[in-house]
Amino acid sequence: MSTEPLRILHVITGLGLGGAENMLTSLVLRSADTGMIPSVVSLVPGGENAARIHTAGVPISDLGMQRGLPDPRAVRRLALSIRAARPHVIQSWMYHADLMALAARVTLARAERPRLVWGVRCSDMDVSRYGPALRLIIAACARLSARPDAVLVNSHAGRTVHEKLGYHPRRFEVLENGVDTERFRPDPAARAEMRRALGLAPDAIVLAHVARRDPMKDHESYLAALDRLPHVTGLAIGLDTERLPARPNLRRLGPRTDVPRLLAAADFVISSSAFGEGFPNVLAEGMATGAPAVATDVGDAARIVGDTGRIVKPRDAEALARAIAALAGEDAAARAARRERARTRIENAYPLARSAQAYAALYRSLA
């Protein structure tokens, strides 16, 4: 079994442009390098990453669910998908998919049940901001956390938080995300082209904030920091960011599929999250393009950034603005050196190939 290709069925809530969705897609597209044979089931249909997976020729389907609407019939549909795929391992991603995968596996005969790995992608979620359903789902996951064969978290902060929440798995693994440093790289041509398209001068100081509009992302602090930095231009990239309140120095771009090029056009990558982050992909991706990070101290942000950028406390727009101003005020030589350190840190600490091999090693150890 250890030498034959392993069939891995990934089960995820959706396939939009979020961090978990992007990481799943990156792993699936690297499967040939690790001897894995992937297939993907999404609880809800659609999503930009679904198109990437389909184009790569990976089997992909959905359960036809609608966000926010429970559908008990979907458990049966997922069980049928498991039978059809005959995976050695199911890898589920995020709370809803974790519960769905467990429920579907229980309906199978014991001889048909593959190994199950739950995926936890966040840290200290403020559940009061999302209604009672999320609180109930997290509590159910904690109670049932010994049922999967392993629970995988992408951050050290995530493991600590979930242990406090009552997670007690048989095997608790931290596997940090990886970045495709060929896709996310310094790109002078893209930088010039994107700045022209956005009407930005070549020497403008540009910030990239890549996050859907959501309470955990705290766009309010980002906007308040921009108000204190009138000579800096901020980009807001992600679902519903086109609906943010207008600012003279803000470009509200909405969801985009050209994020690597937008990051290459930026001088700094910003994370203003107030809570909940595990391994914030955007920090590592921005740093890989040569954009040093200014981030709030949430999840593993400080671990990722190291000494290449600045970390500030959450919900403090003044501190965020001061940190951005300090980096923007460095001379050209210091800024160039900082860009190089940021890129090198990601190349050395978080390469996608290493992350993909770590996932494959975990699956082999279970199968």
Residue 1 lies in a domain: no
Residues 321, 311: one domain? Answer: yes
111-136 confidence digits (pLDDT tens): 999 999 999 999 999 999 998 999 99
Strands 205-210 and 89-93, how do they pair? unpaired
Residue 263 lies in a domain: yes
Residue 150 lies in a domain: yes
State the total domains in the chain.
2
Residues 150, 140: one domain? Answer: yes
User: How far is it, in rounded angstroms, from Cα 258 to Cα 260?
Assistant: 6
Strand partners, 236: 209, 252
Residues 246, 327: one domain? Answer: yes
**CA angle in degrees (0–180, nearest 5) for 112-87-74:** 75
Residues 25, 170: one domain? Answer: yes
Tokens of 349: 């600490």
Tokens of 37: 């044979």
Residues 34, 168: one domain? Answer: yes
Residue 183 lies in a domain: no
Residue 311 lies in a domain: yes
- Mean pLDDT, consecutive 10-residue stretches, the chain (367 aa), reads 81 95 96 95 96 96 88 94 97 97 96 96 95 94 98 98 97 97 98 98 98 97 98 97 98 97 98 98 98 98 98 98 98 97 98 97 96
What is the DSSP secondary-structure string of 166-212? T---S-EEE----B-TTTSS--HHHHHHHHHHHT--TT-EEEEEE--
Distances (CA, A) of 304 to 95, 129, 177, 344: 24, 26, 10, 12
Distances (CA, A) of 180 to 97, 281, 313, 367: 25, 11, 29, 27
Nearest to 273 by CA among 27, 47, 19: 19
Strand partners, 209: 236
CATH number for 117: 3.40.50.2000
How many other CB atoms sit within 10 Å of the CB of residue 14?
A: 23
Distances (CA, A) of 287 to 127, 181, 184, 308: 30, 10, 9, 9
Residues 207, 174: one domain? Answer: no
Residues 337, 361: one domain? Answer: no
Residue 87 lies in a domain: yes
User: How far is it, in rounded angstroms, from Cα 153 to Cα 117?
Assistant: 10
Residues 137, 213: one domain? Answer: no
Are the CB atoms for 9 and 81 separated by under 8 Å?
yes
Residues 194, 120: one domain? Answer: no
Residue 3: the pLDDT is: 64
Residue 137 lies in a domain: yes
Residues 345, 355: one domain? Answer: no
Distances (CA, A) of 176 to 14, 122, 355: 21, 12, 7
Residues 24, 147: one domain? Answer: yes
Are the CB atoms for 147 and 185 separated by under 8 Å?
no
Tokens of 44: 């809800």
Residue 88 lies in a domain: yes
Per DSSP (E only), the strands in 232-366 are 232-237, 250-254, 268-271, 293-296, 310-312
Residue range of the domain that includes 174:
6-178+351-366
Express the helix, strand and coil content of the chain in percent, nearest 5 each. 45, 20, 35
Residues 17, 96: one domain? Answer: yes
On the CB side of 249, how many CA atoms lie within 13 Å of its CA?
19
User: How far is it, in rounded angstroms, from Cα 243 to Cα 337?
Assistant: 36
